[in-house]
Amino acid sequence: MRKTLLPPELESAREEIEGYAREYGLDFFPILYEVLDYRTLYETAALGGFPIRYPHWRFGMEFDQLIKGHVWMGSTIYEMVINTNPSYAYLLEGNETVTQKMVMAHVTAHVDFFKNNMWFAHTNRKMLDEMANHASRIQRIIERYGYEVVEDFIDTCLSLENLIDYHAPYIKRAEAQTKQPLVGEEEIPLVQGLKVDHEYMQSYINPPEFLHQQKRKIDEDRLKQKSFPESPQKDILLFLLNYAPLERWQHTILEIVRNEAYYFAPQGMTKILNEGFASYWHSTIMTQRALKASEIISFADLHSGVVATSGGRLNPYKLGIELLRDIEDRWNKGKFGKDYAECDDIQAKRLWDKQLGLGRQKIFEIRRLYNDVTFIDEFLTPEFIAEQKLFTFEYNRDTDLYEIASREFEEIKQKLLFRLTNFGQPFIYIEDANYNNRGELFLRHRHEGVDLQWNYARDTMHNLHKLWTRPINLETMIDERKRVITFDGIEFSERRLD
């Protein structure tokens, strides 16, 4: 990576900001800033913040869209930072010093979050090298097998990129990686019942129902063992890596795509919390310490831009910072726990203040242990929702418009959690890899009230078939009816299950 030293005034701004951050108790990796012109900044943004990625058209598309957004809509990227140690962060050339200071404060908090949040604990902090490594490996494969073949295969893998188990790094799942023979030689265990000393006791100790029950259990166990995988698998990419008939180079590429997907996953899991945390800190550091009187207007303008909501849109920066501030206030005043929850007096609740001063401590605790789902689940309150004017919206078929549907706490919370859980993506498991005893793949979509988008699902099944090479079956619901969709490599067919 090209090393540009910060110009002196920015270097001193960096020292100043990082000094304040440390005083507040932030704990971060060293940060290497680089000042880029807007084109290079957008280019880097298109590559996901990394200077070197493997060649793929979607980076070009991303770049095209970013530049257009910049030129036509005036949208600007202020801040970009990547989760590595040391962390790399980029500043836009020509921004006012106050802007750069605010960005630095924001970035410093992000890096603290990367370093301390448990969901990032398993990420590769040398990802810069890893990405470059991926790039050169794929480049070598391209040289050997040709650009279009490899591109087509990357497209296929990327289409399955979200079929991973976001919690896998934190849980030891049984048999995710065990390789088992599909059909094993085995002795069928006999039903013996409990040991009986005297023959005449047999019918008392092992009555026929008991023996029958035992036999059924053994049969079930055997059936279970025969089914492969033994339990449903969510990390479909891993399953394909282990069992799909891939060539070596294909295996390499699929592994790279999976690896990068897992690297980016925690950032998706903590978007609201991470952005909220960074905005909380840039606001705190700037307003309490770093701002000069002459910079206040510029800062206010910038900050309000960051947390603006328009057209009913939910802004993760806004939701995050407001919820954190709400929590800080509640923990400062002791507005939590049994006493507070059971208090019926609205006036007393409003004026509740036990002067605990635990707010800041709570915020640091949250940044260590929570992700978006647990953050929203635990701390969203009806008062907060009313104050922030949150609502749910639904699509109205008659008018072809989205309409405000509810302002009820439970509904909003549920919908918000639904959109955050598993990144708001459908849960799909591999249930059987030897379906019909013909090596077909059987997937189940755990339907939670929302259908899959069909044109996309079909193309995705197409891509799955490319890797698995045997028919793909998907159980799901379409318009409230249970269906199994099968793609045999040539055409789709549909079977009713109800």
Q: Take residue 329 and report the two structure tokens written for it.
A: 């206030």
**Least Å from the CB of residue 202 to other proteins:** 55
Q: Which of residues 238-277 bind other proteins (CB under 8 A)?
A: 268, 271-272
Answer whether the bond into residue 229 is a cis peptide, omega within 30°: yes
132 touches other proteins (CB under 8 A): no
* Residues 28 and 120 sit within 8 Å (Cβ to Cβ): no
What is the closest distance, in whole angstroms, from the C-beta atom of residue 284 to other proteins in the complex? 23
Q: How far apart are CA 475 and CA 179, in angstroms?
A: 25
Q: At what angle do helices 372-379 and 271-285 cross, to 10 degrees?
A: 80
DSSP E strand stretches across 267-358? none
Among 453, 489, 492, 494, binds other proteins (CB under 8 A): 453
Would you say 229 or 268 has its CB closer to other proteins? Answer: 268
Q: Total residues contacting other proteins (rule CB under 8 A)?
A: 84
Out of 231, 451, 469, 484, which residue is the one contacting other proteins (CB under 8 A)?
Answer: 451
Q: 469-498 burial by CB neighbour count: b if 16+ within 10 A, else e? A: ebbbbbbbbeeeeebbbbbeeeeeeeeeee
Minimum CB distance to other proteins smaller for 172 or for 313: 313
What is the radius of gyration, based on Cα positions, of the chain? 28
Annotate each residue in 462-491 with x if it binds other proteins (CB under 8 A) or - if it does not, as one string. Answer: xx----------------------------
Residues 345-384 that bind other proteins (CB under 8 A): 372
Q: Which residues pair with 443 in a beta bridge?
A: 430, 474
Q: How many whole angstroms separate alpha carbon 407 and alpha carbon 410?
A: 9
Give exposure, 1-39, as e/b (b: 16+ Cβ within 10 Å). Answer: eeeeebeeebeebbebbbebbeebebebbebbbbbbebe
Quote the crossing angle between the two packed helices 236-243 and 248-269, to the nearest 10°: 170
Residue 9 DSSP label: H
Contact between 232 and other proteins per CB under 8 A: no
Cβ 455 to other proteins shortest distance, Å: 7
> Which residues have CB under 8 Å from 454's CB, separation 6+?
478
Query: Which of 21, 160 has the CB closer to other proteins?
Result: 160
The stretch among 93-101, 161-169, 290-298, 490-498 that binds other proteins (CB under 8 A) is 161-169
How many C-beta atoms lie closer than 10 Å to residue 212's C-beta?
11
Cα–Cα–Cα angle for 160, 162, 166, rounded to 5 degrees = 140
x/- map, 298-327, other proteins, by CB under 8 A = -----------x-xxxxxx-xx--------
Footprint of other proteins on residues 384-443 (CB under 8 A)?
A: 388-396, 399-407, 412, 415-416, 418-420, 423-426, 428
CB of 68 to other proteins, least distance (A): 8
Greatest CA separation for the chain = 100
Least spacing, CB of residue 458 vs other proteins, in Å: 8
| Nearest-approach distance from CB 131 to other proteins, in angstroms | 12
For position 144 contacting other proteins by CB under 8 A, the verdict is no
Q: Which residue from 237, 253, 452, 472 is in contact with other proteins, where contact means CB under 8 A?
A: 452
Q: Contacts with other proteins in 64-83 (CB under 8 A)?
A: 64-65, 68
Residue closer to other proteins (CB basis): 210 or 393: 393
162 belongs to the binding site for other proteins (CB under 8 A): yes
Tell me if 158 contacts other proteins by CB under 8 A: yes
CB of 389 to other proteins, least distance (A): 6
In the list 4, 57, 96, 182, the residue contacting other proteins (rule: CB under 8 A) is 57
Please choose, out of 17-25, 204-212, 227-235, 459-467, the segment that lies near other proteins by the rule CB under 8 A: 459-467
Minimum CB separation from other proteins for residue 312, in Å?
Answer: 4
1 binds other proteins (CB under 8 A): no
- Based on the number of CB atoms within 10 Å of its own CB, is 259 exposed (0-12), middle (13-18) or buried (19 or more)? middle
Q: Which amino acid is at 490?
A: I
The only residue of 24, 29, 38, 63 in contact with other proteins, by rule CB under 8 A: 63
Which span sits near other proteins by CB under 8 A: 39-47, 298-306, 341-349, 489-497? 39-47
Q: Which of 21, 35, 47, 164 binds other proteins (CB under 8 A)?
A: 47
For the bound state, the minimum distance from the C-beta of residue 128 to other proteins, rounded and expressed in Å, comes to 14
What's the number of CA atoms in the CB half-sphere (13 Å) around residue 314?
A: 18
**Residue 35 binding other proteins, by CB under 8 A:** no
Determine the Cα–Cα distance for residues 237 and 159; give it in Å rounded to an integer: 11
Rounded Cα distance, 86 and 29, in Å? 6
Neighbouring C-beta atoms of residue 312, cutoff 10 Å = 10
* Shorter beta-carbon distance to other proteins: residue 152 or 488: 152
Of the pair 404, 497, the CB lying nearest other proteins is at 404
289 counts as binding other proteins under rule CB under 8 A? no
